[in-house]
Chain A
Amino acid sequence: MNPSLKIIIILLLGLELTFTQHIIFNIWIVLLCLAILLFQRIKPKALMYLLLAPLLPAVGLLVSQLFYGANGKVFGWVLFTRLYAYAFSGAILVKTPLTKLTYSLEENLHLPPKMVYGVVSACALVSDFITEIKTIKIASSMRGITLHFWSPKLYFKAIIAAFRWSTQLAEAMISHGFVEEGQRTHLIQMKIKPSEIIAAVLIIVVVQIPIMV
C-alpha cells in the first residue's frame, strides 16, 4: 500500500485510540497489526522486542491506575492495552523502505523536498554517529578521562561533529543539483490507486467492529 496512505491510517487510528476507552478495541488493533506483521514475515527477534519494549511503561501505567488512579481497574487495563496498540500500529511502517516513504511524502503529501531529503540523509548518519561516540570515548580514555553517557563533554563533542556533518551534507546535496525551491522530476510516480483508497476505508471500518457490535 502507498506509504502516505499507511501513515494517514495510522494517524487516524492513533487519534481514535486516544479518545476510546475500549479494551477489546485496543486488543483487536494489536491482533490485526500482529497478523499483518506475521504476513510480512517479521523476524522473531523483532517481534520479541516489540512485545517487551512497551512492557515496562505499560505495567507502570497499569499499576499506577490500579493503586492510585481515580478511574478504576478497567481504565488501568485500557491504558495497558492502548500502549501496545500504539506500538503495534506504528510497527506496521517498519517494513516500508525509506526511499519509498520519501518519494511518497514528497509526491503525495507534498511535503517540502528540503524537509523530506534532509530527514533521509540524516538517517544515513545514525551508524556514523554511533562510531563517533565510540571514538570520542576512546580519545578521552587516551587522555585519562572516562566519559559516561551522562558526561556533558560527550554531548558537546557529538554536537560539534553533527554540525560539521550537517554542513557537509547540505553542501553535497547542492552539488548534486538540489535546489531548495526548485522543481524536480520524479522517476518513480507514487500514485495512489482508487483500490488503495477503498482498501484504506475498509481497513478503518473493519477496525471499528469491536466498537460497533
Chain B
Amino acid sequence: MSITVSNFSFQYQNHQKILNQVNFKINDGQLILLTGPSGSGKSTLLKWMGGLYPQFIDQKYKVSGEININGKNIKKLKANQLSQNVVMMFQNPNHQFTMPTVNNEMIFALENQRVSPNRIQPIIDQVLSRYHLNHFKHRQINTLSGGEKQQVALAIIMAMNSKVILLDEPFANVDFKARKKILNILKQLKQNGKTIIIVDHDLNQYEHIADCYLYLFNDGHIDSFNHIQSLPNYKWFHTEPQSFQLPNNHQLSPAITLANFQLLRGNKKLLSVNQFHFFMNKITLITGDNGIGKSTLFEALIKLIKYQGDAFLGHQNIKKIKNKQYFQKIGMTFQDAEDQFIEITVQDEIKLSMNNANQKQYSKKEILKWLKRLNLIHHLKQTVYTLSEGQQKKLQIISMLIMHPQILLMDEPFQGIDYASLNETYQLLKDANQNHHQTMIIISHQLADMDQLADYHIQFQDQKLIYSRQLK
C-alpha cells in the first residue's frame, strides 16, 4: 500500500507548528526511516498516519492537508478498514497490552481482526516459533522486561499481518543483538510487500535496509534523503572513540559501595558484584546495552526495588539510613521527567528547590543565569507538563542540582535535548561538579563528547560493572 502525505500541517492552538507543509510519498513495499531531533513531532506524524489522531488529541488544534492510503483519504476510511490495513507500535513498551498473557493478547488482536476461530491458534504458534518466542507464549506480560515486551509487540504486529506497519522507536529497549534480529525480520516483511515506517534516533544498520530517509526538523518541515550519509544527524553516529582514565582507588573516597550485591529481574540475574565503588566528587558515566539493568540498578539504589547484599553510602549501610535522611543525601533525575515534578509551573518548581535545598550552593543570580543559558527563562510561567521533552529534562537537572544532594543519579538526562542546548547542559554539569563538588552518576545513550564531561566510564555487561578506558 502506498502512503501519500500532502501539504500536511498540524499545530496545537497557541503553539508553534509541529508539522509544517509536510509532503512525501511512500510506495508499496518500501521501508522508510523517519528521524530528527526529539520532540520534533515524529510520533505525532505517525499517529496521524495510523489514524489515532485526531481521536486522541485532548486540546484545541489546527490541521490542514491530506494523508492518503492507496489514494484514499485516511479520514474517510472506516475504523475497521483502517485497523485491517495499518498497525502501529509505540515507543513506551508499558501500557501496550490489554490482556494479562502473551497468548491472550495475541488472541485479542486476531479476534479484533475477525480472523476465524479455527485459524487463530495456528497463526499464533506459527509466528511465535518463526521468531523463536515460543517460551513467551504463556508468560504474564507484566513479568517481561521492556525489551521482551517490544519483541512481543512486534510478534503481534506480524500476526496481524497488516499491509502498513508503523513503528515508533521499536528498539528503545532492545539490545544490539535483538535489534539486528528484528531489522532482519523487517527486511523480510518488506520483501513480502509490506510498507514499513520506522522512527529511530539511532541510524545504525539502516544503510542496506531503508529505501529512503526522512528528516523532520524542529520547525516542522520534512526533507527526504536517498543516502544515509546526507542526513543532518549522521555525524553523531560516527564520533571518534573516546578514552577515559581509570580511577585510582587509594586517592579517592567512595561515594557508594556495593558489597556482595545482586540484582534480579524476575528470575533473571542482572548484576552480581563482590565489591564495587563509585567515587565522590566525580562524574561517572555508565553505559551498556538496552535492558541490561542500568535503570534497575538506580531503582535499587533509591530503594524503589529490592536487591540482595549490601549497598553503602560512604560507610553507612543504606538499609540503616532512614528514608528522610537518605533522600537528602542521594537524589535522582528520573528517566520519565513527569515523575520528577512536584509543582505545576516551572518557577514554582525552581522555587521549591531553592527553599528546600539541602545545602544552599546556588545564588539567585546564578540560577537566573543558568535558566537563561538553558533557554528556560521564557517558560517560567508555563505548566511543567506542557514543556517539550528536552525542556522537561533541563528543568529536572537544574531543580535537582539546586537541591544539592551529596550524590546525584541521572537516568538518561540528555534525552530529547537538542544538540544546541546539549553543550550548555554539559557546561552546567561541569560547573556543578567543579565549583559545587557535585558527585554525579549518569546513565546515557547520548554519548557525543562524553569524554569532555565524565571523569570515569563504567561498562555494564555480563552482569558486571567494570571501569573502562574505552568508549566506542
Give the B-binding residues of A (Cβ under 8 A).
Answer: 98-99, 102, 117, 120-121, 123-125, 127-128, 131-132, 134-136, 138-146, 153, 157, 160-161, 164-165, 167-189
Contact = CB atoms under 8 A, between A and B. Distances in A.
B240 interface: no
A176 B403 contact: no
A197 to B, nearest CB: 24
B114 A180 contact: no
Most-contacted residue by chain A among B100, B101, B141 (CB, 10 A): B100
B196 to A, nearest CB: 15
Contact of A177 (B87, B99, B104): B87
Contact of B342 (A145, A176, A183, A188): A145
Given A142-B330, A187-B121, 13 more contacts: A120-B98, A121-B97, A139-B334, A144-B358, A165-B95, A171-B90, A174-B79, A179-B79, A182-B80, A182-B112, A185-B114, A185-B115, A189-B117
Interface residues of B, number: 69
A187 B400 contact: no
B434 to A, nearest CB: 23
Given A176-B109, A182-B79, A142 B405 contact: yes
A142 B406 CA distance: 11
Contacts of A189: 117
Given A142-B332, A171-B90, A178-B83, A124 B97 contact: yes
B338 interface: yes
A169 B115 contact: no
A212 B114 CA distance: 50
Interface string B105-132: 1011111111111001100000000000
B302 A177 contact: no
A188 B120 CA distance: 10
A133 B156 CA distance: 31
Given A134-B304, A135-B334, A144-B328, A184 B342 contact: no
Nearest to A174: B52
Given A117-B108, A143-B403, A177-B87, A128 B94 contact: yes
B56 A176 contact: no
B88 interface: yes
Contacts of A157: 342
14 contacts: A141-B327, A142-B400, A142-B405, A146-B324, A168-B92, A169-B95, A171-B52, A172-B97, A175-B52, A176-B109, A176-B160, A177-B83, A177-B87, A187-B110
Interface string B127-164: 00000000000000110000000000000100010000
Most-contacted residue by chain B among A132, A167, A172 (CB, 10 A): A172
Contacts of A186: 111, 117
A179 to B, nearest CB: 4
Contacts of B56: 167, 170-171
